[in-house]
Structure 1
Amino acid sequence: MAPRLWIMTTFSGANINPLHRQRVKGREIVVTEEPRLHLAWIHNRIFVKPLPRYLLSHAFWKTFLEEDSDQAGYSQSNLCKAATGFLRTYRYLIQHESDFHIAQQDHLRLIPKDIDWPSFCRFISELSHIEDTAVSKRYCYGELRLTRLNLYAPLLLRKFHFEQVHGQYGDFFERLYGPVLFAFATVSTILNSMQVALAADQLEASHWEAVWHVSRYFSIVSLVGAAIISSWFILLWLWIFLDEWIYTVRRKLGKKREVQSTPC
């Protein structure tokens, strides 16, 4: 899915909010051990994989990630790029001392407890010159919206979802309540307006002219109002959708121009 991620998010590896900004946005930081969920977010949660101690060891990199291939025949260059990209994400997640303290909280432990802030600063400064060519394609992007990953999973992964986060039937159907209630309210308003209009015609025959005018105009206003509100919501959704696509395509084209203009 990595080559198609530009469809779903900003084409930038720096598109990562530091930990304190995650809190400002009201997101709960959830620890995960699955690399594929690292920096995926949904509603008020974001999944973050802790930084393994072995990735902080120069000996580990020298021994396991700088060989030509491993015993299984998998390209070590791919492993090295994935590890480098994952490591680079912490350059953006922890930018301030407040982020560092959040990462070391007991219920998170995103980085080892025995590392101090000055040591981490010296380490993270060495990651400032890592380019996209040195990381795997996944880490050319930052945060990923899990709802979009699930939306595109049937097309790109031939799976019903990328990650199932709703374990109960109630959670699944709860997402449908809002659209269903909106559609039901709109249809009910239109039908009630039509009923008022038909009843008003009967009032005209009974010589209740004032009530007939009020009922007639109220039903027309209700019909027009329901149509305007429904159209506004549809146009608003289309505007947001198209605006995101235009921005995404511009970023994609901008990245291509940057690559083409970079001297070999």
Structure 2
Amino acid sequence: MPAYPRASPFSQPHQLCPDLDGSGSPAATQHLPGHPTISLSDSDALSRFLRQELWAADLEAVASRLWILTTPSSASIHALHQQKVLGREIIVTEDPRLHLVWINNRIFIKPLPPYLLSYSFWMSTFPQSPLLTQQWHVRRAAIGFLRTYRYLIQHESDLLIAQQEHLRLVPVKLNWTDMSTFLADLETVEDGDASARYRYGELRLSRLNLYAPFLFGRLAYEHIPMQYGEYFARLYGPILFIFAMVTTILNGMQVALAADPGRQFSNYFLWKIFYWFGISTLLITVTVGSSLMALWFGMIANEWKFTLRNRHRAKG
């Protein structure tokens, strides 16, 4: 595992964004490709911007414990065409915390910014020494993030999906020949070159939220709003299955007791078990129903609390 990543994760002839090579307009070479308001000469602002865009602080802080959530493999990433086969909708996000995080039939993917495709950017912007700690960490995160596209785009069909109008995960001007050559360079990137978060692939949001109190010290990693119907629909299946099983058991008990009424009291112990099981089932049914109603009212109350708090802030 190398201690010092290469200056650039790809070779200059294979770069896909030559904007900083001096061949373009002077204005283009003075600003970050794809971000005309970010000046390359303002190192402090540039560092803050890159950290905001590439550093997933929450996940990096607990990366050593992410093995409890997913397979500890950076290659655990489905290609874009496989995401479609799995029935997942690709949701574009600019938040590095959500890159490759999925829930139900959705997966969040951060677009590949043009500046990470520039050889000159890697050579001139990121430090070549770990002495500059913060920038060095961001550099490793950038390498890890870039490598995820080696797995997301494995075929020309993946590239076409990435270039769809509603996604634009990569620049539309790229062709498959150039892209495949570029991605081939990333095959030599090792886990030691990337930040700790990118030694893992896709992460399930439901598990992140489940372990959020222990990992992040808050109730949820990321709250994804859902309609009431969608939320409760997820509970219907398990609840109906449990009630079907209990109903079957109760019917069996009823048949057993009714098969020979004259012997009901001779099997008093068995009769007592059946009786209290029936009473317990009734109480559990009432409790579950009441809990669902309380949950529904709680969700409404929480929305009103959020609305009134925002209204109070607006007035203040």
TM-score (norm 2): 0.59
Query: After superposition, what is the alpha-carbon deviation per residue over 1:220-245, rounded to whole angstroms, capped at 9, x for unaligned?
Result: xxxxxxxxxxxxxxxxxxxxxxxxxx
Alignment of 1:61-210 (within 5 A): 61-66=122-127, 75-202=134-261
Residue pair 1:67, 1:76 contacting (<8 A) in 2 also: no
Q: Which amino acid aligns with 1:14?
A: A
Gap regions ≥5 residues in structure 2: 1-61, 265-316
Q: Which amino acid aligns with 2:230?
A: D
Q: 2:86 aligns with which of 4, 22, 25?
A: 25
Q: State the shift of 1:82 in Å.
A: 0.3
How far apart in 2 are the matches of 1:193 and 1:166?
42
Q: What secondary structure is seen at the aligned counterpart in 2 of 1:41?
A: strand
Greater Cα offset, 93-102 or 184-193: 184-193
How far apart in 2 are the matches of 1:135 and 1:88?
9
Q: Which amino acid aligns with 1:112?
A: P
Q: State the shift of 1:100 in Å.
A: 1.0
The equivalent residue for 1:9 is 70
Q: State the shift of 1:135 in Å.
A: 0.3
Gap regions ≥5 residues in structure 1: 206-264
Aligned pair count reads 203
Q: State the shift of 1:74 in Å.
A: 5.8
1:55 aligns with 2:116: yes
Segments of 4+ in structure 1 off by > 4 A? 67-70
Residue pair 1:19, 1:94 contacting (<8 A) in 2 also: yes
Q: What secondary structure is seen at the aligned counterpart in 1 of 2:90?
A: strand
Q: What secondary structure is seen at the aligned counterpart in 2 of 1:95?
A: coil
The equivalent residue for 2:99 is 38
Q: Which amino acid aligns with 1:66?
A: P
Q: Please report the RMSD computed on the Cα atoms of aligned residues, expressed in angstroms.
A: 2.3
Q: What secondary structure is seen at the aligned counterpart in 2 of 1:126?
A: helix
How far apart in 1 are the matches of 2:126 and 2:176?
26
Q: State the shift of 1:203 in Å.
A: 7.6
Q: What secondary structure is seen at the aligned counterpart in 2 of 1:77?
A: helix
Q: What secondary structure is seen at the aligned counterpart in 2 of 1:128?
A: helix
Q: What secondary structure is seen at the aligned counterpart in 1 of 2:187?
A: coil
TM-score (norm 1): 0.70
Percent of pairs with identical residues: 58
